[in-house]
Structure 1
Amino acid sequence: MNTSVRVRVPASTANLGAGFDALGMALGLYDTVVVTVTGDETRVEVTGEGAGGVPTDEKHLVVRALRAGADALGLPLPGVFLRCHNAIPHARGLGSSAAAIVAGVAASYALAGKDLDEHALQVAAEFEGHADNAAASLYGGLVLAWSEGPRFRAVRLEPHSALAPVVLVPDAESATSVTRGLLPGNVPHTDAAFTAGRCALAVHALTVEPGLLLPATEDRLHQDYREPAWPETMRMVRELRGNGVPATVSGAGPTVFALPPGGTLPSGVDTTGFAVRALPVDRTGVVVEPAGLNGTNSR
């Protein structure tokens, strides 16, 4: 059993338009967690995003995921010390919760001396109820996620090299539980058919032909229904799309995810109220390495 590991896990964007609960992409913004087995009580130190606002004991999400992973592996785990440095904004639709869960699960595998496998995705996705963000943080690149009964699955696809994501992050936060509550129980058959076609087209556009991204990222399944939760987000999505920029709501919002050609937004777009940031596609996923007892790399 290893006693101290460092985990770096990327942010993610989900849905990418019509791919609700199915498509996800890893982004080059990272949380870093160092987990050290101490043998006494669990302690958590947090710097960066969430500092002062998240639990610092067994209730911390990384700790809960760590213990779930350890239980799945049959790994006895006493107290641990977590040092977390968070760069992924919380409650903004950039997969911060999924990243924390993946960090915990990946750390449990590393402490057990095991390589990540398909069951790691299962453990992580059970926390969220869907696998798109978790799979993106685990595998990197573009993922296509689905479920077969209680089993969560995902495949990794290689995103086109020309993709140059830009995120527009507002100060407002959003909760997945709230935005999901705005979705109707049924949608018109025409909208369902439209969504199926656009989701399939999105896979092609994101991997083979980015010139089709504008129509490929159209959605009729969830974004308009959830507009009351983040009206300014939808205003920005529509303004970008009206200027020819493929844009969607990132996950549960309120961040806007855009794929402008060349990675630059048009000069006439009013981004007031949003912090604009270019983020590359992360193509690696979660990275785990040994760490010294003081949290430094052991290599």
Structure 2
Amino acid sequence: MLKIRVPATSGNLGPGFDTIGMAFELYNDISFELIPSGLNIDILGEGASEIPRRENNKVFQAAKKVFDKVNFSPSGLKIILENNIPIARGLGSSASIIVGGMVAANELSGKRLSDQEILKMAVEMEGHPDNVAPALFGGVTAAVSGISSVDYLKILPPRKLHAIVAIPDFQLSTETARQVIPTMVDRSDAVFNIGRTSLMIGALLKEDLALFGKMMEDRLHQPYRMSLIPGMREVFSLAKEAGALSVAISGAGPTLIAFVVGDGRPVAEAMSKAFTQQEISCKTLDLYPDLTGTKIISS
């Protein structure tokens, strides 16, 4: 049986809306096995009671795109999803399924597609590259979709940099989170984000973590999504008071992510306290960057 391991990701990283993401050491495992006939899907862990087990399952749909692309027709397929990434929480669960399904299908069908081709297909299915690129390659990636390809740059973040994620006990779909963002933005807000995105990438390359934290401000999506995440303002404030370099919405939310160096427990406690004050329970995780991306752990 072929088993693929795909990391969780946090998209946007503040100002890098739809273009920048980071992979973390929290994983979904996806197993594929060719069988004589039919489709057999088993799901363990996160989302086990809500994810479909038929042909509308997203991992199967992702795999089918690869099979169709390379003209490969499996007689039957057994799929096992072992999910540790929370569903609809802003940690790249959808991207992990898409990337894992495509990588597994490519392996089963003879490795006919390059990583670049898989990336392009994954972006087309997901709609934006900020999660699928780091899920595939690991580290921090900046990615832009072109006409014929997706261009990306991978950066290995300093190992001492890690993140406290506060995962509140409610879901927020990407579609809902996108609906509150205006279609037109003020030029000053665009310039604000362009400048901070540029310096944020430069700060990572120079390992200037103080500057990295300072540059994670945003005006394009976070102010509009604040109404969808009760306690967000308080979480940001208390996390920074507790020593966080910066705080941002993870992807589309509702998870909030704080970057730290050293002991992250005070930040985790502060973020939990802020959510509790809003009568919202949350779980916190201390996550270090994943540097390798999707990998085959058994075949």
**Preserved CA contact (<8 Å) 1:164 1:263:** no
Equivalent pair of 2:155/2:204 in contact (CA under 8 Å): no
Q: Which deviates more from structure 2 when the two are superposed, residues 151-160 or residues 195-204?
A: 151-160
Distance in 2 of aligned mates of 1:124 and 1:166: 27
Q: Secondary structure at the match of 1:53?
A: coil
* Deviation at residue 239 of structure 1 after TM alignment: 2.9
CA distance in 2, matches of 1:263, 1:155: 30
Q: Which residue number in structure 2 is paired with residue 253 of structure 1?
A: 253
1:269 aligned partner? 270
CA distance in 2, matches of 1:121, 1:263: 35
**Equivalent position to 1:195, from 184, 193, 196:** 193
Change (3 A) 1:53 1:142: same
> 2:239, 2:271 within 8 Å by CA — same for their partners in 1?
no
Task: Please give the secondary structure, in 2, of the residue aligned with 1:155.
Answer: strand
* Contact persistence 1:142–1:157 (CA under 8 A): yes
The match for 1:278 is: 286
For these two proteins, the number of residue pairs brought into alignment is 288
Opposite residue 251 of structure 2, the aligned amino acid is G
Given that 2:166 and 2:271 are in contact with CA atoms closer than 8 Å, whether structure 1 keeps it comes out as no
- Residue in structure 1 matched with residue 2 of structure 2 by the alignment: 5
Name the CA distance, whole Å, in 2 between partners of 1:37 and 1:81: 6
Q: What secondary structure sits across from 2:33 in the alignment? A: strand
Deviates more, 1:122-131 or 1:238-247: 238-247
| More helix, by proportion | 2
Question: Match of 1:139?
Answer: 137
Query: Could you tell me which residue of structure 2 aligns to residue 79 of structure 1?
Result: 76
After superposition, what is the alpha-carbon deviation per residue over 1:143-163, rounded to whole angstroms, capped at 9, x for unaligned?
A: 001111364332211112221
Aligned twin of 2:35: 38
Aligned residue type for 2:270: V
- The separation in 1 between residues aligned to 2:184 and 2:242, in whole angstroms, is 32
Judge which range, 40-49 or 153-162, deviates more: 153-162
Distance 1:290 1:214 in 2: 38
SS of 2:43's equivalent? Answer: strand
Q: Deviation string for 1:229-276 (max 9, x for gaps)?
A: 113234312332354521100000000111122141436725133211
Contact 2:134–2:140 (CA<8 Å) still a contact in 1?
A: yes
**CA positional deviation for 1:133:** 0.4
Greater CA drift, 154-163 or 216-225: 154-163
SS of residue matched to 1:206 = helix
Q: Distance in 1 between matches of 2:38 and 2:102?
A: 20
Partner of 2:165: 167
> CA–CA distance in 2 between the matches of 1:205 and 1:47?
39
Paired position in structure 1 for 2:93: 96
Provide the rounded CA distance (Å) in 2 between the counterparts of 1:13 and 1:33.
20
Per-residue CA distance 1:61-95 (angstroms, 9 max, x = gap): 11110111111222222321111110000000000
Report the Cα distance in structure 1 between the residues aligned to 2:147 and 2:234, rounded to whole angstroms: 37
Partner of 1:110, secondary structure, is helix
Q: Deviations over 1:28-56 (max 9, x none)?
A: 00011110111311011001001121111
Which stretch of the first structure deviates more once superposed, 230-239 or 80-89? 230-239
Question: Residue 116 of structure 1: CA displacement?
Answer: 4.2
Deviation string, structure 1 residues 103-160 (Cα, Å, up to 9, x no partner): 1000011112317420000111111111110011100001001111364332211112
Higher mean displacement: 96-105 or 30-39: 30-39
SS across alignment from 1:218 = coil
Distance 1:232 1:113 in 2: 49
Q: SS at 1:269's partner residue?
A: helix
Residues of 1 paired with 2:74 and 2:236: CA distance? 46
Q: Mind listing any 5+ residue stretches in structure 2 that lack a counterpart?
A: none
Deviation of 1:191 (Å): 1.1
